[in-house]
Chains A and B, each alone.
Chain A
Amino acid sequence: MALTWDVVTRGLGEIGRLIGIVAAVVIALETMAYLVLHKLLKCKYSLPLMLLLPALVGVLALIVYPFGFNVYLAFSNMNMFRFKDFSVGISYGITNLLDVFRLPVLQKVTFLQLLGRTVLWTVVNVVFHVLGGLALAILLHRPMKGKGIYRTLLVVPWALPQVISALAWRGEFHFQYGFVNLMLERLGLRPVPWLSDPRWAFVAVVLVNIWLGIPFMMVVLLGGLQSISQEYYDAAQIDGASGWQQFRSITMPLLKPVLTPAVILGVVWTFNNFNVIYLVTKGGPMEGTDLLVTSMFKAVFEFYRYGFGAAYAMVIFVFLFIFSAVYLRLSGGFKGAWES
């Protein structure tokens, strides 16, 4: 089946209709807001509020309402057999919440195991991202030939669409035909059962994610290195500081303002990474590579435990929220963002 004229016109028709409806709703909302706020209430801020209204409605309908709906579902017994006629009650909510902690989240693995594994996954990945990125950035920061080519080639893992690289890696971890084992055999080593042994599978996904994440850190840190003034090094040179001393007392402290937000972003992205795990191993074998997010996805869309999944999502969100709040406190928030 290929792309036919029919498919194209059907798609364009549907999308055209949708955009028409959205535009009409936006105009209707703004006119209504104008009439009510400006003519009726004589509000001083009628214009900005009117401009805000469409986005506000959108965010309320597709972020705030679903969030609330998720809380509501967490207090329900919704599952595969009760998709339409589920009931809601405090007791269901308590059961769902307790189930998160007392029963296996899927079939084998428990919440605590998943939490520990997710933390391990995040720490190992981010540490290697930063170390690898820093090492490459420092090497690339010196004057040398072919710097542009190196930099271009080194960002390739970041530039490839993640879905493609994850699926390609899944093929390459194939026991018999993947290049990883083929190379191990050429080196005289024994092939590794990457995707059938839970421990090796975890190593495999970690390797893939390290490979994916280094270029981002490298680029960020290279930018940071370039913003450090050369004069500091000149002064240190005169004082006879060694290369290592210069690195410790000039490079590292001055890199910190760049490194801190990059690490925070890296932690949140890694913690929430779904694609790498789900596409390389599907969380298997025997749930040995599932993380919090993938097990939530599977509980909902493969085990059809909707009410439980909603409660589970709330628990994960609370963990992330605490982390974000602590970070905002430590880093002094986003000062200056709204002062301008």
Chain B
Amino acid sequence: MRIRAGRSVFRRARGDSPVKRAAIHLVLILSCVVSVYPFLRVVSVSLRPSNQLLSTSLAFVPPGASLENYRALIFERDFTIWLWNSLIVSAASVLVGLMLAATAAYAFSRWKFPGRRQGLLFLLTTQMIPAGMLLLPIYVMVVRLRLFNTYTGMTIAYSVGSVPFSIWILKGYYDTIPRELEEAALVDGASPLAAFWRVVIPLSTPALAIAGLFSFMTAWNDYMMARVMLQKADMFTWPVGFQKLMDQFQTAWGQFAAASVLVAIPALALFLYSSKWLVSGMTLGGVKE
């Protein structure tokens, strides 16, 4: 939905006095400063040379600014390994999760089998279990299966968490694909599974992408599960690694800041790029015109 220019909550806003308009801009500018400043400060700390790491200066570009922290981070720390671990575990859990969710959502969308309603409701209920609650049982299971400190254990722990949500998203999308398309394929002699694979899956790329992105982000940004499952430094995902850096505040603050900048910039770019659709996509059940 386009934002309609010239309309406002208060119609009288159109005749706002210059003072009122200036006040509004002032409030918005102050809010923007509050919202952005902490990150700017991270950027600033990341540029500090190591002998001025702990300084009481508030200057944005610190005196003697250098990229030393970035160099030390990349070549002397496990930073690249942390990123790699996060990447591989997140990507694998997306693949496993989608493999399970894509077919299940299809069953929910196309057949009215007994227990369908209860099944969907059950999937919704699982979302109310607080994350920390399944942590202990999964931890015990993983230790017993000797999957502690492994990519396999992490992937398994992450993959199923997002399956219920993915099923909901995909089911909603499949519902919008006309059945006639599959029926045409069936008439041409394809089996129901082939019709699903050749017709429905290619058409639902956007929904698969959204469900995949959501699962990826959940695994990528998780701290709690990783903190419990990973003890070996070379298996850390980035959130655990960053936390270890921050624990050495006096010595590694600059490297933590550099690491944050490197991880946050792609995340910010992705988010801001998609924020065009955010406002219209987030109406959460509001009636749209």
Which of A's residues lie within 8 Å of B, judged by CB?
Answer: 1-3, 7-8, 11-12, 14-15, 17-19, 22-23, 26, 45, 47-49, 51-52, 54-56, 58-59, 61-63, 65-67, 69-70, 73, 136, 138-144, 146-147, 150-165, 167-172, 174, 176-177, 179, 182-183, 186, 211, 214-215, 219-220, 222-227, 229-230, 233-234, 237, 243, 246-247, 251, 257-258, 261-262, 268, 272, 274-275, 278-279, 293, 296-297, 300-301, 306, 309-310, 313, 316-317, 320-321, 324, 334, 337-338, 340
Give B75's nearest chain A residue, CB to CB. A2
Give B14's nearest chain A residue, CB to CB. A143
Give B16's nearest chain A residue, CB to CB. A142
Residue B66 CB within 8 A of the other chain:
no
**A45-B111, A136-B31, A223-B280 given as contacts; is B58 within 8 A of A233 (CB)?**
no
**A55-B167, A143-B5, A340-B175 given as contacts; is B284 within 8 A of A223 (CB)?**
yes
Stretch at the interface among B120-128, B181-189, B202-210: B120-128
Give B283's nearest chain A residue, CB to CB. A223
Near A by CB (< 8 A), chain B positions 127-183 give: 128-141, 150-152, 155-157, 159-161, 163-164, 167, 175
Beyond contacts A26-B100, A54-B104, A155-B271: 16 other A-B pairs, Cβ-Cβ < 8 A, are A3-B80, A51-B107, A59-B163, A67-B134, A70-B136, A142-B24, A144-B21, A154-B32, A155-B35, A157-B38, A159-B272, A219-B282, A223-B283, A251-B9, A274-B223, A313-B132
Set A45, A155, A279, A334: member contacting B124, Cβ < 8 A: A334
Cβ–Cβ < 8 Å partners of A61 in chain B: 160
Cβ–Cβ < 8 Å partners of A156 in chain B: 35-36, 39, 268
Question: In the bound complex, what is the Cα–Cα distance between A168 and B256 (angstroms)?
Answer: 9
Cβ–Cβ < 8 Å partners of B91 in chain A: 15
Q: Are the C-beta atoms of B113 and A177 separated by less than 8 Å?
A: no
**A7-B81, A66-B141 given as contacts; is B221 within 8 A of A161 (CB)?**
yes
Most buried by B among A66, A261, A316: A66
A-B contact pairs, 5 of them (CB 8 A): A8-B84, A11-B151, A154-B31, A168-B260, A313-B130
Cβ–Cβ < 8 Å partners of B280 in chain A: 223, 226
Cβ–Cβ < 8 Å partners of A14 in chain B: 150-152
Binary interface profile of B, 225-262, with partner A (CB < 8 Å = 1, else 0)?
Answer: 00110000010000100110010010001001100100
Which of B's residues lie within 8 Å of A, judged by CB?
Answer: 1, 3-14, 21, 24-25, 27-28, 31-32, 34-39, 41-42, 45, 54-56, 58, 74-75, 77-78, 80-81, 83-85, 88, 91-92, 95-96, 99-101, 103-104, 106-108, 110-111, 113-114, 116-117, 119-121, 123-124, 126, 128-141, 150-152, 155-157, 159-161, 163-164, 167, 175, 192, 220-221, 223-224, 227-228, 234, 239, 242-243, 246, 249, 253, 256-257, 260, 263-264, 267-268, 271-272, 275, 278-289
Q: Are the C-beta atoms of B6 and A143 separated by less than 8 Å?
A: yes
Q: How far is the CB of B85 from chain A (nearest CB, A)?
A: 7
Chain A interface, >50% SS class: helix
Cβ–Cβ < 8 Å partners of A293 in chain B: 130, 132
Question: In the bound complex, what is the Cα–Cα distance between A167 and B13 (angstroms)?
Answer: 41
Q: Are the C-beta atoms of A153 and B36 separated by less than 8 Å?
A: yes
Question: In the bound complex, what is the Cα–Cα distance between A167 and B263 (angstroms)?
Answer: 13
Give B85's nearest chain A residue, CB to CB. A11
Set A1, A55, A261, A274: member contacting B100, Cβ < 8 A: A55
Set A19, A158, A225, A229: member contacting B9, Cβ < 8 A: A225
**A2-B74, A275-B223 given as contacts; is B24 within 8 A of A224 (CB)?**
no
Cβ–Cβ < 8 Å partners of A215 in chain B: 35
Q: Are the C-beta atoms of A18 and B92 separated by less than 8 Å?
A: yes
Cβ–Cβ < 8 Å partners of A51 in chain B: 103-104, 106-107
Give A71's nearest chain B residue, CB to CB. B137
Q: How far is the CB of A88 from chain B (nearest CB, A)?
A: 13
Chain B interface, >50% SS class: helix
Cβ–Cβ < 8 Å partners of B121 in chain A: 334, 338
Q: Are the C-beta atoms of A169 and B279 separated by less than 8 Å?
A: no
Give A11's nearest chain B residue, CB to CB. B88
Q: How far is the CB of B235 from chain A (nearest CB, A)?
A: 10
Question: In the bound complex, what is the Cα–Cα distance between A321 and B126 (angstroms)?
Answer: 11
**A160-B264, A224-B286, A337-B120 given as contacts; is B137 within 8 A of A67 (CB)?**
yes
Question: In the bound complex, what is the Cα–Cα distance between A162 and B275 (angstroms)?
Answer: 17
Q: How far is the CB of B176 from chain A (nearest CB, A)?
A: 9
**A7-B234, A48-B111, A338-B116 given as contacts; is B151 within 8 A of A15 (CB)?**
yes
**A26-B100, A172-B38, A179-B41 given as contacts; is B110 within 8 A of A274 (CB)?**
no
Question: In the bound complex, what is the Cα–Cα distance between A146 and B260 (angstroms)?
Answer: 28
Q: How far is the CB of B77 from chain A (nearest CB, A)?
A: 8
Cβ–Cβ < 8 Å partners of A59 in chain B: 123, 126, 160, 163-164
Q: How far is the CB of A70 from chain B (nearest CB, A)?
A: 5
